[in-house]
Structure 1
């Protein structure tokens, strides 16, 4: 297997669309061939080698393939679209639609992510459908929109519409959330480490959480956790888990 490394040649990578790039498509290519791969940008196509220094390292046969991107990629959209195997690691920020429609593997961002992380894109009705997307910073709006399977972990804050129209899967947010939390949620689990006041028209009153699965995903059971279910306005039965309710934050419904 291979480890493909992209080192940014400048402090800020120009706007680029990675939606047509699959890690598996690059595994059979040399560093020079990857350097010549052309990607859409705002006004013209740009070669990968114009922006990054490309290197390839060999891994043992039983290791998962890796794409490592170093540098500020906050204007790179669509990274990991339909990703299904291997690891994508970003040492820096990433743009919109990171992990959109992914079905497997791991994507880890050591920085912030733009809007629609782990979400759908274009006219597709299903967003993230498997795998693990881990964002160690903040994320923008519509994270996990129409998510069906997998795990989305955001260590920092997230914008509006997190878990909107979520069908299944697990989303975990360590920081604050914006408005319209879990709007249209059908099933799945949203775990919030900072409690909020959910609108009573859409979610049940919180009750104490009792489940053996908490330990499996690293939830601290020394804290008091609660669960609310919804979105009741559409007959949804998703679950929102929250920590201690004594410091609720009221948000826009």
Structure 2
């Protein structure tokens, strides 16, 4: 097992773009090699060691590499981008784009996450033990698909546009969400244990289950009886008929 512990030397006002901070790039490397990995800061690239204290224990494959961030990294973006295996643990809040393009492995965040958490991920697992901001599991502007695989669990609330353009995978939200969850969905499964407003607009396929209250249900969904999920009976709707959608929406 290889464990890499990172802690910021001082709080940063300008965001750090940590595109290459993932187990794939850390596995088998020494402390000095990891410190030398470049990150973007402002309009230039600088060694990771300029900003972080780095401690390395052991050396192993990417599957057995774990990165631990101690403290707040709410101004550090793109942690875990494109990772394929291993684990990242963040003990604090994290900035935007965490887990972007993730293909495998696991990210655990013991804090809150800014926008675009797990966007366009295709595999792996993200567990957020806090609240999420906008566009969880979504696609960037102009992309036809957001999240394609994997699972995101949010043990708190999420803001607007959860799962926008989602094409696969699963999102579970233990709390409530904001406006337009599952907008333009093309697949996958979203379970919201709290409340949601105007869900599944322009959804073509996929499944959305809302266990709490649903506000402002769109009139472009067709009610088709009931369906049971986990022993509970829900009203079943299909749509969005405005786009010829055949997605399934289950609400109380």
Which residue number corresponds to residue 86 of structure 1? 86
User: Contact 2:28–2:61 at 8 Å: present in 1 too?
Assistant: no
Superposed CA RMSD = 3.1
Matched, 1:227 2:236: yes
Which residue number corresponds to residue 133 of structure 2? none
Cα distance, 1:121–1:194 mapped onto 2, change above 3 Å: same
Cα distance, 1:125 vs structure 2: 3.2
Cα distance, 1:43 vs structure 2: 4.5
Which residue number corresponds to residue 147 of structure 2? 128
Cα distance, 1:62 vs structure 2: 11
2:33 is paired with a residue whose SS is helix
Q: Deviations over 1:36-67 (max 9, x none)?
A: 22222334434322333222334887964323
1:6 is paired with a residue whose SS is strand
**Number of residue pairs matched by the alignment:** 233
Q: Which residue of 184, 187, 192 corresponds with 1:173?
A: 192
User: Contact 2:198–2:216 at 8 Å: present in 1 too?
Assistant: no
1:129 is paired with a residue whose SS is coil
User: Contact 2:191–2:209 at 8 Å: present in 1 too?
Assistant: yes
1:228 is paired with a residue whose SS is strand
Cα distance, 1:198 vs structure 2: 4.9
C-alpha distance in 2 between matches for 1:47 and 1:35: 6
Matched, 1:238 2:228: no
Q: Deviations over 1:70-98 (max 9, x none)?
A: 32222333333333323333222222233
2:169 is paired with a residue whose SS is strand
Which residue number corresponds to residue 156 of structure 2? 137
Which residue number corresponds to residue 185 of structure 1? 203
Cα distance, 1:40–1:11 mapped onto 2, change above 3 Å: closer
Matched, 1:151 2:175: no
Cα distance, 1:233 vs structure 2: 1.4
Which residue number corresponds to residue 113 of structure 2? 113
> Which residues of structure 1 form unaligned runs of 5+?
246-253
Q: TM-score, normalised by structure 1?
A: 0.75
Cα distance, 1:24 vs structure 2: 0.9
Cα distance, 1:196 vs structure 2: 0.4
2:237 is paired with a residue whose SS is strand
> Which residues of structure 2 form unaligned runs of 5+?
118-136
User: Contact 1:101–1:126 at 8 Å: present in 2 too?
Assistant: no
